Amino acid sequence: MAIVVQKFGGTSVADAEKIRRAAKRVMDAVDKGFSVVVIASARGKQTDQLIADALELNPDPSAREMDQLMSTGEIQTVSLFAMALEAAGYPAISFTGTQIKMVTDNVHTKARIKSIGTDEIHNELNKGKVVLIAGFQGTDSNGNVTTLGRGGSDTTAVAIAAVLGAHECEIYTDVDGIYTTDPRIFEQAAKIEKISYDEMLEMASLGAGVMHSRAIEFGKKYDVNIHVRSSSEQTEGTLITKEVPQMEDVVVSGATIQKDMAEIGLIGVDNKPGNAAKTFAHLAKAKVVINDIVQTEISNEKANLLFTIGTSDLKDAKKAVEEIKDELNCEKIFVRDDIAQISVVGVGMRAHYGVAEKMFSALAQAEVNIDSITTSEIRISCIVSEKDAKKALKTVCLAFDLDKPIEKRAKK
Ligand code: ADP
Ligand code: ASP
Ligand code: MG
């Protein structure tokens, strides 16, 4: 029997009524003859609440205990969800990440999946049960509970869809699809019907919180079609899928804003081979995830090394650069955490010119100063002051017609 994976985010299972509504989606799929595997997140804002509870008792809790605690949110959801299904006459069984052998590395609070057991899932599906799996969590090889990073249930869902060979993974959420930008910030954002893995991967990594970026990596690698749709409305959502040539006709598919960011600058480090390697090896040892790096030579002897990171890594990153400062002969370290990054993304950039100019002109007209610029083949990102960030996003969206459906956008 064909398997479908359905993932329900926190808002979609926030209370009993919403769990019943989500259960109805599952029952519809069962009635259509599918074997259904459900991944669920913690209810409502429960993960935030668990973090607040922890901080009330310890301002600097260990990452291991945080994972142990945070993983409980999704465990509650899946057992409640199973009860709702059973009450409606649909046999169901819930599992924690550990129970289905979701093995991860040992990087607490941002672990990566290494392998997933499928025996338990298949056994239960074969008995005609709906299988519910707690999202966002796994276990390292020593049996410690780990979590995959905020928003990580998406990754659990797509990874499970991949190992089960499910042809589609449905992501049920509080928006009815992927929009050109976060509709909470730019209300006129247009809905996207289809988006390529690469574009969505960039958007997710650049702050489009609607999907966890690792989920898209799994989707791309294992060819899982990801369908992002509304848990409350019966509309078609957005399909995240393989790139097709027509996708290049659209210059910019989406724009993002990333706020929880910090910039660290190592000013006047010795300009000699090995210094960048040393710096980033040290940061990697501290498990700091680096977003972008800009190195500029200021003279034969000296260079500046700038990089951006998420604010959650700021404490570790600061400590790491302080430790290595003298070895690099660094004159000064600066840290800014009042910044935000505005990016535009589109596979069409490969085939069109003038995209950067359009973005920078729009920002100039809105009198937004650009702190630094980074690019890839399919994206352009500008660091701006946090206070200008929303204005900058809106300006850029209007410049690229991201308030209009694809057919009505300017071709260049
Ligand atoms: P869930 O709890 O279901 O995982 P999330 O809050 O993680 O839901 O993701 C849904 C939210 O993502 C939306 O409410 C929306 O505000 C935000 N979002 C950010 N960027 C986008 C985008 N480009 N398209 C749609 N939603 C977006
Ligand atoms: N509950 C976790 C979070 O709030 C994981 C998720 O929702 O995907 O980040
Ligand atoms: Mg989410």
Q: What token pair was written down for 56?
A: 């009330």
- Rounded to the nearest 5°, which phi and psi values hold at 59? -65, -15
What does the pLDDT average to over 295-324?
A: 95
Report the interhelical angle of 213-222 vs 153-164 (nearest 10°): 10
Q: What is the pLDDT of residues 165-216, one digit of tens each?
A: 997 999 999 999 999 999 999 999 999 999 999 999 999 999 999 999 999 9
Question: What is the model's pLDDT at position 1?
Answer: 80
The pLDDT tens digits of the residues spanning 85-129 come to 999 999 999 999 999 999 999 999 999 999 999 999 999 999 999
- Cα of 69 from ligand 2 centre, angstroms: 13
Confidence class of residue 305 from pLDDT cuts 50, 70 and 90?
Answer: very high
Ligand 2, residues 38, 51, 69, 74: which to mutate, most atoms within 8 A of Cβ? Answer: 74
CA dist 351 and 253 (Å) reads 13
Q: Note the ligand closest to the C-alpha atom of 212.
A: 3
Cβ–ligand 1 contact at 175 (below 6 Å) = yes
Establish whether residue 97 lines the binding site of ligand 1, counting it when its CB lies within 6 angstroms of any ligand atom.
no
C-alpha 211 to ligand 3 mean position (Å): 6
Reading the block at residue 373, the tokens are 């610029």
At 230-267, the pLDDT tens digits run 999 999 999 999 988 888 888 899 999 999 999 999 99
How does pLDDT run across 329-375, given as a tens digit for each residue? Answer: 999 999 999 999 999 999 999 888 899 999 999 999 999 999 999 99
Residue pair 229/237 in contact by the 8 Å Cβ criterion: yes
d(CA 55, CA 348): 45
Give the per-residue pLDDT at 375.
92
Looking at the CA of 209, which ligand is closest? 1
DSSP β-ladder status, 225-230 and 92-95: unpaired
Sequence-separated (6 or more) residues with CB below 8 Å from residue 305 = 265, 266, 269, 275, 276, 279, 293, 294, 295
> What is the chain's percent helix, strand, coil content, to nearest 5?
40, 30, 35
How many angstroms is it from 152 CA to the middle of ligand 2? 6
Q: How far is the CA of 176 from the centre of ligand 3 (A)?
A: 13
Q: What is the pLDDT of residues 137-158, one digit of tens each?
A: 999 999 999 999 999 999 999 9
Residue of 109, 136, 158 to mutate, ligand 2, most atoms within 8 A of C-beta? 136
pLDDT at 410 over 80: no
**With a 6 A CB cut-off, is 192 part of the ligand 1 pocket?**
no
Q: Write down the pLDDT at residue 412.
A: 60
Q: Please state whether 123 falls in left (phi above 0), alpha (psi between -120 and 50) or beta.
A: alpha
The neighbouring-strand residues paired with 309 are: 262, 290
What residue owns the CA closest to ligand 1's atom 5? 210
Render pLDDT for 79-97 as a digit per residue (tens, 0 to 9).
999 999 999 999 999 999 9
Q: Using the predicted structure, report yes or no on whether residue 378 has a pLDDT greater than 90.
A: yes
| SS3 letters across 188-257 | CCCECCEEEHHHHHHHHHCCCCCCCHHHHHHHHHHCCEEEEEECCCCCCCEEEECCCHHHHHCCCCEEEE
Ligand 1: residue whose CA is nearest its atom 17: 210
Q: How much is the average pLDDT of 313-341? A: 95
Pocket flag, ligand 1, residue 9 (CB < 6 Å): yes
What is the pLDDT, as a whole number, of residue 352?
Answer: 87
Give the whole-angstrom CA distance, residue 303 versus residue 269. 5
CA of 321 to the centre of ligand 1 (A): 34
CA–centroid distance, 71 to ligand 2, in Å, is 9
- How far, in Å, from the CA of 352 to the mean position of ligand 1? 29
Task: Give the position, in ligand 1's atom list, of the atom nearest the Cα of 180.
Answer: 23
- On whether the CB atoms of residues 116 and 160 are closer than 8 A, the answer is yes
Tell me which residue has tokens 């951006």.
Answer: 308
Gap between the Cα atoms of 30 and 141, Å rounded: 35
CA distances from 253 to 183, 249, 271, 317, 345 (A): 14, 10, 39, 33, 6
From atom 5 of ligand 2, which residue's Cα is the shortest distance away? Answer: 151
- Collapsing DSSP to helix, strand or coil, 57 comes out as helix
